[in-house]
Structure 1
């Protein structure tokens, strides 16, 4: 890709009062806050008050659905609604249209907590509509700008919506085996989208932040990685586990090679960078574990799911929603203690949750502790960033940074 996010470090300016116009200026503002809030609430409900999730989409199905499509995919939509403006020069969605996009998301989250078929149907329609509307908004920007490099990205959002719909249909039918197949398909589609974004932005961010650092952007290996990820989804849906396993080995292995080539030892002094590196290496490792599971190695399914979803997606998310928010809010690209503490807490939550997978007398206590530190991490993020998100940029109170052309090196 030739165009990536602009993250400038502007001069400081006067404080501004909260503004609805500023809040709805770009997709990341409401959607990052919505996703982070739901990450906190959904885990707290699942661990400490599961009886409140009493709808048709209840129990483990509710937890799996809400963490993948209610949290992770929501942050992905917020990122793409913002990055799309930098890629195309056209803001995909803002103002009332952005508020309209957020409405079905909120309806779905509430409806899935309520009992009854009507509530479930309303939630399902609202949830799928959220992804369809987001794909349409991004697709419009891509088409109007003739940004051919990103023609596939709106279809990835549609694929997230399609796997969401399939999961919900299987839930309604009470077909647990099919439900889990669709969950895994959604997980792999999300992994494909995450690899696409992370492989492009991590080298860009690193070279901008560390003087003299030069790292490969892996255009060719990145394309092979995306093809392998898509093949893994196909192998899963077609019921070809060995094809799925081989494709996952390729996608995960390429991720680890890329990570090593990005010189992780050079970013240890930059929290905004090392948190992204931690998430990317965890994602690659999770894909290899998923390959082992698909090949029948006897590993529990919960292991690769949590390594990918928590160690990969969630660690990358806490880094990305910090880094990209600071840049688009016109703030210095520097972490404070609360941000670094949030990073440490998310990583601690991952370690504790993985430890809780091993049956022991301490498992329940580890699970509760993992949920607690997870909730604290996202509470810290909201405490620090909510006041910024509802105010105009301090440097000029106007729109976010203009797009920048990046010409990556071939590797």
Structure 2
């Protein structure tokens, strides 16, 4: 039975089960949250209450599954190394599933099982990719390892606070910062392929796109400094100024993308929109902290839905299709779903100002669920089938000959 499961097409590469789990967690988690807020449905009793349950599942459930699926697929490609062994991927999937159950039951069985089952998958991913990243002669991608270690720290920090009986929300806020850093790191690698490929398609061979390290490093540094200030001195003026600095650095980073009409190509525009949402999110946080105008929560949700959600959706559609041996999907549902996600982010940010308007919350949660539900509908059939090009693993589209 185990051998048959490991040999199934679903286990050809780590992203197949993990991307599906991420999308499933996105849909089910948002349905439960909307039911709680708008229909009075009960949520599991966990340390910190419903908001902590919601943020925990968004980050340590949905987001981590997507990160793990991408990293275990991309790192071997980046460094020309072997893919993650199928037994290790299956163990990771089972640990992730156990973490979801244990966290939701933590109000009954205590937080220790959830702590073990949510920290262990991070250790598994690090153990699988750290040797590959370190053995790369140029060590060009070690920033991915540092980001994973930071994710391990915020996950452990969350459960340390829970076990001590302290408010754990600060670790969840820190986790958003770690994801934003990881998005900038990963986007620099993906965007150079996507944008330059689009330039070639348009025949603009005289122009090339380069994700310049100084702009990227400045953006990462500002995000890290804001995250530290947000954890150590939440609501302090220094946190507000650093949020505005992060927004400015991200707007500056967008300057690399301004190469003419290529910006209107579907994949380029969707990736660019991630940076726009991220910059606006930090800008809203900074303004809210410094002036009491707007809402810090609104800014955080622009980061969580607009930047985090959209980046995961787009990357899953790029990596999750190419590495099944298929060319990128050119159908309209992808840009439509991406637009719906952005509208959901705006609606949720607006709800922070007008919480009496339940329509905004329906739009936000419904848009999120529709986008990731569409992903499941389109990719579940692909992931249950072998690759059409004869490939046996995670490699990209193979030549027909």
Shorter-chain TM band: 0.7 to 0.9
Asked whether the equivalents of residues 88 and 141 of structure 1 are also in contact (C-alpha less than 8 Å), the reply is: yes
Flag the 1:292–1:355 CA change in 2: closer, same or farther, 3 A. Answer: closer
Asked whether the equivalents of residues 272 and 335 of structure 1 are also in contact (C-alpha less than 8 Å), the reply is: no
By how many angstroms is 1:358 displaced?
2.2
Higher relative contact order, structure no. (Cα contacts within 8 Å, ≥ 6 residues apart): 1
Give 2:175's aligned residue. 186
Which of residues 120, 126, 130 in structure 1 aligns to 2:117?
Answer: 126
Which of residues 248, 251, 259 in structure 2 aligns to 1:253?
Answer: 248
Asked whether the equivalents of residues 72 and 83 of structure 2 are also in contact (C-alpha less than 8 Å), the reply is: yes
1:226 is the counterpart of 2:220:
yes
What pairs up with 1:3-402 in 2 under 5 angstroms?
Answer: 20-49=7-36, 50-56=41-47, 58-91=49-82, 93-114=84-105, 116-118=107-109, 120-176=111-167, 179-211=168-200, 212=204, 213-239=207-233, 241-263=236-258, 266-267=261-262, 269-295=264-290, 297-359=292-354, 361=356, 363-401=357-395
Unmatched 5+ stretches in structure 2? none
Flag the 1:38–1:311 CA change in 2: closer, same or farther, 3 A. Answer: same
Structure 2 distance, partners of 1:159, 1:296, is 31
TM-score scaled to structure 1, two decimals?
A: 0.85
Asked whether the equivalents of residues 393 and 400 of structure 1 are also in contact (C-alpha less than 8 Å), the reply is: no
Asked whether the equivalents of residues 248 and 290 of structure 1 are also in contact (C-alpha less than 8 Å), the reply is: yes
Report the secondary structure of 1:48's partner residue. helix
Unmatched 5+ stretches in structure 1? 1-17, 404-411
Report the secondary structure of 1:352's partner residue. helix
By how many angstroms is 1:320 displaced?
1.1
State the number of aligned residues.
Answer: 383
- How big is the alpha-carbon RMSD for the aligned residues of Structure 1 and Structure 2? 2.6
By how many angstroms is 1:238 displaced?
4.1
Structure 1 distance, partners of 2:80, 2:142, is 15
Flag the 1:298–1:373 CA change in 2: closer, same or farther, 3 A. Answer: closer
Report the secondary structure of 2:386's partner residue. coil
By how many angstroms is 1:133 displaced?
1.3
Report the secondary structure of 1:210's partner residue. helix
By how many angstroms is 1:313 displaced?
0.8
Asked whether the equivalents of residues 20 and 390 of structure 1 are also in contact (C-alpha less than 8 Å), the reply is: no
Q: Deviations over 1:324-371 (max 9, x none)?
A: 21211121223213323322322232222222222264x222212322
Asked whether the equivalents of residues 174 and 231 of structure 2 are also in contact (C-alpha less than 8 Å), the reply is: yes
Report the secondary structure of 1:51's partner residue. coil
Structure 2 distance, partners of 1:340, 1:204, is 19
Q: Deviations over 1:122-174 (max 9, x none)?
A: 12210111112111211021123345222232232121122122223334544
Asked whether the equivalents of residues 264 and 274 of structure 1 are also in contact (C-alpha less than 8 Å), the reply is: no
